Structure 1
Amino acid sequence: MSDNCNHHEGCGHDHLGNDLGPQDSLFSQIDRPNVIALNGAHKGSVVIKPWNEREDNSQYLESDADDQLILRIPFTSNVRLRSLLLKAGPGGKTPEKITLYANAPHLDFESVNDRNPSQELEIVQGNSVGEYPLRTVKFNNVSNLTLFVPAAQGDDVTRISYVGFLGHWTKRNEAPVVTVYEAQANLADHEKIQGMDGTYSNVGH
C-alpha cells in the first residue's frame, strides 16, 4: 500500500495483485458455514471466497427488503485484524459506509445503534477489491465480527460480492481448565500433624 493509504480509513484502491494471495489472509480462519446475513436475499457465506475468486461477480450477497444489511462473521480462532477487503456494487448498490463491531455476535437492526462501533468505514465505488485499514487496537482479540451497512449509495438494494480480512491468528484454547476443590477434608487422606488430637503419624513408621 502507498503511504496515503496507510493513514486513510477508506482506501478503495486495489494493492493486492499477488495471485497467490497475501500471506496474512484470514480466509482459512473464517467459520464459513456459520456466516449469517440479516436482510440478505442470499446466504452470507457466498461472499467469503478464496483469494483467486475475489473478482468473481457471479456469486454475491444482496439486501432484501431495503438497502440495509448485517453480516455476522465468526472465526475459528482468535484473530487480530489489520484490514478489511471488500468488493461491492456496482455503482449505487455500493454501501455508503460499513460499521464494524468486534465480539458482538447477537447484534440485529434494533440493537445495532445502541452499541458504539469498533470502527466506521466510508466505502468508495470501484470495480476491484478495495483494502480498508483497520485500527488494530480495536480488533486485537476477535472471535466474531459484525458488519452493518446502514444504506447504499443511492440504490434500493446493497450488493457485496467479496469480503476478506488480513491479519494474524492464534489457536483458540477450547479445553476448559478443571480445578477440583475439596468441599470437606477427609482426614483419612491426610497425615496427622503432631500436636493435633495428641496423635502423630509419619510415612514409614
Structure 2
Amino acid sequence: MSDHRHGHSCEDKENLECLNEETENSGKDVFKPWEQRLNFEKFVESDCDEELLFNIPFTGNIKLKGIIVVGANDDSHPSKMKLFKNRPKMTFDDVGVKADQEFDMQRDPTGRLEYSPKVVTFSSVHHLSIYFPKNFSDGEESTRIYYIGLKGEFSEAHRHGVTICNYEAWASPSDHKVDQGDTVSKMIQ
C-alpha cells in the first residue's frame, strides 16, 4: 500500500495475482513506489481480450482512500474500474456480481487523477479485487497498465485464534476442598 509519496508497501505481493495477463507475474510489476509511476519499462498487458482482474491481499486491514491508475495516452488505457472488497480469489466468473464501487475512468498517463472509494464501504479491507472490464478501444485492443497506486491507512490484522475453555456443569467436590479444622458439627434431633 503506497500513500503515493512513500515506498511503504502492505500488499502481500507474493500472493497478489492478475488474471488474463499476457506475461506471467507482470501484474505484480505495476504495484511499485510512487516515484517510479512514470517508469514505463514494466507494465501489465491483457492477453486474449481487454479484461484484467487483480486480486490483492493485504498483510493487515486497510482504510482505502484513493486509487491512481497510470496507463498510456491511447486506447489501451482502461475506461472502467470495478472494486470488490474482501472477496479473495475472484475469477472472471465472479465479476458479474454487483461491485462495491465502479468508476468511469479518464486517460491518465501521468498519475494525476485519484479515484476516491467510499470511505464507509472501504474502511476495513483485507483483500481488494480490481476489475478492468474494458478500455477505450471498444474491444479491438489489449489493455495496458503501468502503475496502480493505493492510498490509505494501514492497521495490523487482528487474528483471533480459537480459545479452548472448559466450563463446569457441576462442581467437582475434589476441586473445592474446604478446611474442616474449625467447623463444629452437631446432631440435630
The alpha-carbon deviation at position 186 of structure 1 amounts to: 7.2
Shift of 1:21: 4.7
2:180, 2:19 → 1: CA distance?
A: 71
Q: Within the alignment, does 1:45 sit opposite 2:28 as a pair?
A: yes
Paired position in structure 2 for 1:8 = none
Taking only aligned residues, the RMSD between alpha carbons, in angstroms, comes to 2.2
Structure 1 residues 166-198: Cα deviation after superposition (integer angstroms, max 9, x where no partner): 11111112351413124766725521xxxxxxx
> Aligned letter for 2:178?
N
- Counterpart residue number, 1:125: 107
Are 1:82 and 1:166, in contact at CA under 8 Å, matched by a contact in 2? yes
SS at match of 2:178: coil
Match of 1:161 among 123, 140, 146: 146
- 1:82 lines up with 2:58 in the alignment: no
Shift of 1:96: 1.3
What TM-score do the two structures reach when normalised by structure 1? 0.77
Partner of 2:185: none
Q: Among 30, 35, 56, which residue is 1:73 paired with?
A: 56
- Residue equivalent to 2:16: 35
Q: What is the distance in 2 between the residues matched to 1:183 and 1:66?
A: 62
SS of alignment partner, residue 137 of structure 1: coil
Change (3 A) 1:85 1:21: closer
Is the Cα contact below 8 Å between 1:89 and 1:95 reproduced in 2?
Answer: no
Shift, 1:204, TM fit: 7.3
1:110 pairs, out of 84, 89, 93, with 93
Which of 1 and 2 has greater Rg? 2
- Secondary structure at 1:34's aligned position in 2? coil
What residue ranges of structure 2 are gaps of 5+ in the alignment?
A: 182-189
User: What are the residue-to-residue correspondences of 1:175-190 with 2, within 5 Å?
Assistant: 175-182=160-167, 187=172, 189-190=174-175
Q: 1:202 aligns with which of 160, 178, 181?
A: 178
- More divergent stretch after superposition (74-83 vs 182-191): 182-191
Specify whether residues 133 and 188 from structure 1 end up closer, same or farther in structure 2 by C-alpha distance, changes over 3 A only: same
How many residue pairs get aligned? The number is 174
Does structure 2 conserve the Cα–Cα contact (< 8 Å) formed by 1:89 and 1:158? no
Q: Distance in 1 between matches of 2:44 and 2:34?
A: 17
Structure 1 gap segments, 5+ residues each: 1-19, 192-200
Aligned 8 A contact 1:46 1:61 in 2: yes
Q: 1:204 to 1:125 in 2, by over 3 A?
A: farther
Q: Deviations over 1:140-190 (max 9, x none)?
A: 110010011111110420011111111111111235141312476672552
Deviations 1:72-124 (A, max 9, x none): 111101000000111113310011100000001122111210x2111101111
